[in-house]
Homo-oligomer: A and B are copies of this chain.
């Protein structure tokens, strides 16, 4: 295929945060053209937002239903290749289902949907269509996260015994939602609203990133968990702080911390993995470095795109070492993987290999939904351990 992939976006209009990130990420490498959109649930705002972004009027829609209808009317070679869903969580399922069923490749933000039942249903539909479905657990797009994953796979730290994953935010340390402030804070509003965010607050919004980062890098499976969830801010309807003990099926132990009330923190997600032969440590706020402390030698600071990295990490780099890449570039790496998979399926008729198309799949999204459900179940239980299955 000798053209850019065309994409449509659902959600992500004016005032949204993550929609713009997706657009930056898709633009970055020149592989995608922004072709159509339904950028808000408010038709006026949707149209105005598309206009801001130079979207042609004919493909700038007031609703996702209109977008779908219009796309299906067009000849196949004019349709968008992929639809990106960046709405609040409660809209994901319906939109994703519709586009999947219509045969489009889809990229959807996390957490995937509200319930495991929805997740399993969606996964079945995707399997039936044979289409690409990416879930934007973006932290796995960082080159040094991929390096960590490859090192674990290669046995650099031996069998894993302990995992500590933390996600510290402070932006919800005070009441930003509802009428608390003169001005509505849209982000705070929907993320603390059970109707839109789902059954979990911090655990859903950022705990799910922590879960995915941890499991992607380690390849471990959670056997059971023990959760303590709290809503600290008066009036808050969902947890804003969560702390978990974890047991993995291989016998390893873990701790997962996710909080949005840690005043003074910004977006501090960190993963430490301890094996019989050493330790790996990665922090998102310093993303170009990965610390590797072997049991039998000095601590090393691995840097992005240095010669001694794994191929999987190098492939995720655009710039020489010392020229930092960051959040958008990591996000874009997921889209590089998605693009490779779409091109492979369309041009070659087969999915790309996992090496060539390195991005989180619908199965990862479904596992994340189950993790949220089990965490909330555990938090309400007097029993120490809640089994994942």
Contacts and interface: CB of A to CB of B under 8 A. Distances in A.
Interface in A179-199: none
10 contacts: A4-B54, A27-B29, A157-B263, A162-B259, A169-B322, A228-B245, A243-B253, A266-B322, A325-B328, A382-B384
Interface of A: 2-4, 17, 20-21, 23-24, 27-30, 34, 53-54, 157, 161-162, 164, 169-171, 173-174, 226, 228, 230, 232, 241, 243, 245, 247, 253-255, 257, 259, 261-268, 274-279, 284-288, 292-295, 297-303, 306, 308, 318-329, 381-385
Contacts of A308: 297-298
Given A284-B324, A323-B326, A382-B383, 4 more contacts: A170-B274, A228-B253, A299-B303, A383-B383
A300 B289 CA distance: 12
Contacts of A288: 285, 326
Given A298-B308, A325-B326, A28 B27 contact: yes
A241 B253 contact: yes
A289 B253 CA distance: 30
Contacts of A170: 274, 279, 293, 295
A261 B162 contact: yes
A70 to B, nearest CB: 22
Contacts of A232: 161
A302 B232 CA distance: 27
A261 to B, nearest CB: 6
